[in-house]
Structure 1
Amino acid sequence: MPCEITAKYIIPSIRALIAKVLVEEYGVPRYRVAKLLNTTPASITNYLEGRRGNKFLEALMENAEVKSIVRRFCEKILSHPEQSSIDMAEYREVVCSICTQINPLARLALGSRPGGHPQLLTGKRKKQLTLANQDGL
């Protein structure tokens, strides 16, 4: 399933990219990044030093659209300094947007609504995905 691959490999790379952008481009202290991402400062250090989330990090960093999505997200969370952690609905939206950018099977499975938000699989797309899964994609 596309979301299983995302959960295991891509989400850690997305978190690493968000941490990297916040620390290196916006100068946010690691401790605050940890609070924003609901994780520990040690996890942020692991993301920044490539010990965690590095499997797809380079590919994400090379994708201009992905970097743009991450920068917009970082700017949005930094525009609310009173916020102690990220809004999980917004975070989920970012993850789905990035996943559909880089994962062709996810694009096929999720489709998109006007505005680019993922939607549930229905009708023709469901049949296409079923056929793709039978073909071993």
Structure 2
Amino acid sequence: MREGGLLRPRCELAAKLIVPAVRALVAVRLVERYGMTQVEVARRLGTSQPAVSYYVHSKRGRALIEALTRDEVTQGLIDRLADLVYRGGSPEELHLVLCEICRRVRASGMLAQLARGRAIGRALAAELGRRPLKGSDE
């Protein structure tokens, strides 16, 4: 039970870390590839237009988003998820693909690598007597 710790299921970590990054990537694809408006995307994703705007333009969380885009298999799954959202796939289909993405991310070690990078950044900032830079996923 190392990954999530005692009483912290893997899906809880996924909901806090992976799902927002996946949602951001799906929102960008729906806007850029399918030509959907932010309002349409918000309706499909069950969120607000300002949230979609934030996903499309935000720099926050970029480390995980960039890690997700570097992995071809994960990229393909995110493309499949965006296509399902666009075509109006069933909640069951959407959840199956999202679960597959989360399993892939956990198995790949992406989260552990990012956590190590953040820990190094915090330690360096502490050593220098500074706060971590704004926009550095802190």
TM-score by length of 1: 0.64
Amino acid across the alignment from 1:22:
L
2:21 matched residue in structure 1: 13
Q: Structure 2 unaligned runs (5+)?
A: 1-8, 110-138
1:91 is aligned to 2:99: no
Partner of 2:11: 3
The TM-score normalised by the length of structure 2 is 0.63
Which residue matches 2:81? Answer: 73
Structure 1 residues 95 and 76, CA gap change in structure 2 (3 angstroms): closer
Pair 1:105–1:26, CA change in 2 (3 A): closer
- Residue aligning to 2:44: 36
In 2, the alpha carbon distance for the partners of 1:88 and 1:64 equals: 24
Distance 1:15 1:43 in 2: 10
Q: Does 1:27 align with 2:30?
A: no
Unaligned runs of 5+ in 1: 81-85, 107-137
Give the number of equivalent residue pairs. Answer: 101
**Contact residue 13 and residue 55 of structure 1 kept, 8 A:** no
- Per-residue CA deviations over 1:23-65 (Å, capped at 9, x if unaligned) read 1222111110000000000000111112565451111111111
RMSD: 2.3
**Whole-angstrom CA distance in 1 between matches of 2:60 and 2:106:** 20
Using the alignment, how far apart are the partners of 1:52 and 1:91 within structure 2?
A: 25
User: Which of 34, 59, 64 is the aligned partner of 2:67?
Assistant: 59
* Cα gap change, 1:50 to 1:67, in 2 (>3 Å): same
Secondary structure of residue in 2 paired with 1:44: helix
Q: Partners in 1 of 2:96 and 2:21 — Cα distance?
A: 16
Are the counterparts in 2 of residues 13 and 56 from structure 1 also a CA contact under 8 Å? yes
Tell me how far apart the structure 2 counterparts of residues 77 and 4 of structure 1 sit (CA, whole Å): 23
Q: How far, CA to CA, are the matches of 1:6 and 1:87 in structure 2?
A: 21
Identity %: 31
